[in-house]
Structure 1
Amino acid sequence: MDNKFVNYFSKISSLTKEEAEAIAQTMKTQSFEKGDYLLRQGQKSSKTYFILSGCIREYILTDGEEKTTNFFTEEQWAISLNGFTPENSATHNWVCVEDTTVVVGDEEQAQAIFKRFPRFETISRTIMEAAFSEQREALTSYYTDSPEQRYLKLLKSRPDLIQRIPQYHLASYIGVKPESLSRIRKRISSSE
């Protein structure tokens, strides 16, 4: 599992042996059980999580109802973009949908590796830009696509989620009630 993390960075930019070893030595893995929270709405946290295995669901609470806003799975980063400024706290929750193993990062650790390998700041910026872009695309889809279009996009881009995630979380993610998701799925399967 540990090589997944080094391999991830190698896909972004080729690494020297020294850089790969530094990444491997500084990584801190942590395992969580299904149902464990990594972050709760209102908490302050500058930790980042790279998922080695498992799945994390992001949701917000509005009027006592959970609304799923994202899922993070293998080789994705769970980054709370508003958690990086001291005056802000998380507006969302992260809970493990499955037993999950992550690499935990923090600002102190990042600064130490940036000091030793300055080009990692550029790599880090590339990762942050990709995470921001993914979140922006999901938000735009929520405003511009119908629930059926969002489900079809999810089916195409992340088919593994359909099998891994409870239907009521998927329904919440695309913005419908579970019974509406059942109707959408039925329409899609009858048109195939």
Structure 2
Amino acid sequence: MKISELMSQNIALSAEECEAVDQYIPIKTFKKGTLLLKADQIANDSYFTIKGCVRLYYVVDGEDKTTHFFTEGDAIASMNSYINRVPANHYLECVEDCTLAVLNYEKEKILYKLFPRLESICRVSMEDDLGKHQEMLASHITKSPEQRYLKLLNERADLLQRVPQYHLASYLGVKPESLSRIRKRIQSRD
């Protein structure tokens, strides 16, 4: 599989664009447990998830705090680090074996210089992702843990089978024991 084939499902690319995209954005595989980015590193790559699951997490007082899971069709980037060339304050970890398209910072600049239209396409995609992240943050702040779990059940139920329960608990902002109680309470209603 080539990244141009995936991109062509949503946008029309010229033969030259396809060739350049495939040259500059290789598809690579990563084993479960691979850290794509560590805190204090500068993000030199961004990713597009073809297969697998990647989690973004912070370490606060020695404890993991998961804030996002990226699955098939999701772009993955440590935006502040990648764009501003500053150290990241979080980690990106493969929760499953992953197949990812990898866009290197320097190669991205070359690609956009060669094909400015691709920069516009990426900007529109990033704006869409920003809107989704804003809604997710608002939901996390305004909803109770039980409401967040129900939202997860409705919108991302696949994660329940793909991600360890302690990562899900962290993502929902609760301890694993609290997640167990929430699940039991919801199951008893059914």
Provide the TM-score with structure 2 as the length reference. Answer: 0.91
Contact 2:17 2:115 in 1 (8 A): yes
- Structure 2 equivalent of residue 116 of structure 1: 114
Query: Match for residue 60 of structure 2?
Result: 62
Matches within 5 A, 1:1-192: 2-3=1-2, 5-83=3-81, 84-86=83-85, 88-192=86-190
Q: 1:63-88 deviations in whole A, cap 9, x for unaligned?
A: 111111111111111111111102x2
Q: C-alpha distance in 1, partners of 2:78/2:132? A: 13
Counterpart secondary structure, 2:41:
coil
Question: What CA distance in whole angstroms lies between the structure 1 residues aligned with 2:4 and 2:130?
Answer: 22
* CA deviation vs aligned residue, 1:119-160 (integer Å, no higher than 9, x gap): 111101012212322322222121111111111111111111
Contact 2:169 2:176 in 1 (8 A): yes
The residue type paired with residue 105 of structure 1 is: L
Structure 2 CA distance for aligned equivalents of residues 168 and 131 of structure 1 = 26
Task: Name the amino acid aligned to 1:21.
Answer: E
Question: Structure 2: which amino acid aligns with 1:106?
Answer: N
Q: Which runs of 5+ in 1 are unaligned?
A: none
Q: Which amino acid aligns with 1:101?
A: T
Structure-1-length-normalised TM-score: 0.90
Root-mean-square deviation (CA, aligned residues, Å) is 1.7
CA contact (8 A) 1:79 1:131 kept: no
User: Separation in 1 of the partners of 2:25 and 2:108?
Assistant: 10
Which of 117-126 and 130-139 deviates more? 130-139
CA distance, structure 1, for counterparts of residue 8 and residue 143 of structure 2: 35
Following superposition, the deviation at residue 97 of structure 1 comes to 0.8
Q: How far apart in 2 are the matches of 1:77 and 1:52?
A: 9
Q: Which amino acid aligns with 1:85?
A: N
SS of the aligned residue for 1:111 comes to helix
Structure 1 distance, partners of 2:133, 2:90, is 13
Structure 2 gap segments, 5+ residues each: none
Q: How many residues align?
A: 189
CA contact (8 A) 1:46 1:80 kept: no
